[in-house]
Amino acid sequence: AKKARKGSYSFYREEDDRALKLRHKNETMLRSALENEEILVYYQPKFHIHESRITGVEALVRWNRNKSEIVYPDEFISILEESGLIISVGEFILRKACSDIAELNASLERPLKLAVNLSAVQFTDPGLVGKIRTILEETSFPSELLEVEITESIAMNDIASTMKILNELTAMKISIAVDDFGTGYSSLSYLQKFPLSTLKIDKSFIDQMQNKEEDQGIVRTIISLADIMNLNVVAEGVETGDQIEILKNNRCAEAQGYFISRPTDIGSLRLIMVSKDPK
């Protein structure tokens, strides 16, 4: 093993110690975040490129820490997962999103679809499907409008139980999207066996699409793969008009990203939607 210099070794230990203490502090604070109403749900529109309209939204969680600063999921999702808090927080996010979008849909000509991210840890909860069913009933949200976004890593945990859950959700008419597609480890044969509806092309392939022939090739390949497998396809992290143009030329159906809209609270989403598609 490498032997670190004495000074740098203790320096790193202090750093680790500080990071660990911060993590513990955040975990303690997150334990009361739900009852303190610090968990917020934002929505980012999905834009149908050919129809040129917003067809759905993705729910994205935010933590309003001490009700004074907005913290992004990269800073706290892993804490929620490791502590198991993601089970109750995930349930809250789903309920809040279904109730917000059900209410908004009542004033729109065409209802928005809603996509919610599910963590691999939520798939280990034997009550997951029952909770989803209850929330849909409680909020009167139509299951055909709900999509769950999962990552390829979910399948790696326990394929049989993942398959069972996905089949149950599909039987309820809920759709299933593979998030960050192209960055995980799933084999094409599992993609074929799972009851999927959508592939979301990871932002990392979209970012340099204009300049890198290879990236554009990958994007094109995922679009044809989706086409062959009869799946919808969404490009994520679209930031420029050039990217939309390329996606359009390659017959990518939907796009999501800052070019269309940043994630916003339900009030701002309502303003965007009611001006575009009033009843």
CA distance 268 to 42: 10
Which residue has tokens 């859950």? 165
Instruction: Give the nearest distance from C-beta 14 to ligand C2E in angstroms.
Output: 29
Which stretch in 19-27, 28-36, 188-196, 236-244 sits in contact with ligand C2E by CB under 6 A?
236-244
Interface with Ca ion (CB under 5 A), residue from 26, 44, 105, 117: 117
**Strand ranges (E), 72-184:** 113-117, 146-151, 175-181
258 binds ligand C2E (CB under 6 A): yes
4-35: buried (b, 16+ CB within 10 Å) or exposed (e) per residue? eeeeeeeeeeeeeeeeeeebeebeebbeebee
Residue 78 or 107 with smaller CB distance to Ca ion: 78
Q: How far apart are the first and last CA of the chain?
A: 68
Q: Which stretch binds Ca ion (CB under 5 A): 128-136, 152-160, 180-188, 255-263?
A: 180-188
Residue type, 134: T
CA dist., res. 4 & res. 16, Å (int): 15
Q: What x-and-dash track marks residues 71-90 binding ligand C2E by CB under 6 A?
A: -xxx--x------------x
Site string for ligand C2E, 125-164 (x = CB under 6 A): ----------------------------------------
Kindly list the residues in this chain that would bind ligand C2E in the complex (CB under 6 A). 44, 59-61, 72-74, 77, 90, 93, 117-119, 179-180, 236-239, 257-258, 263
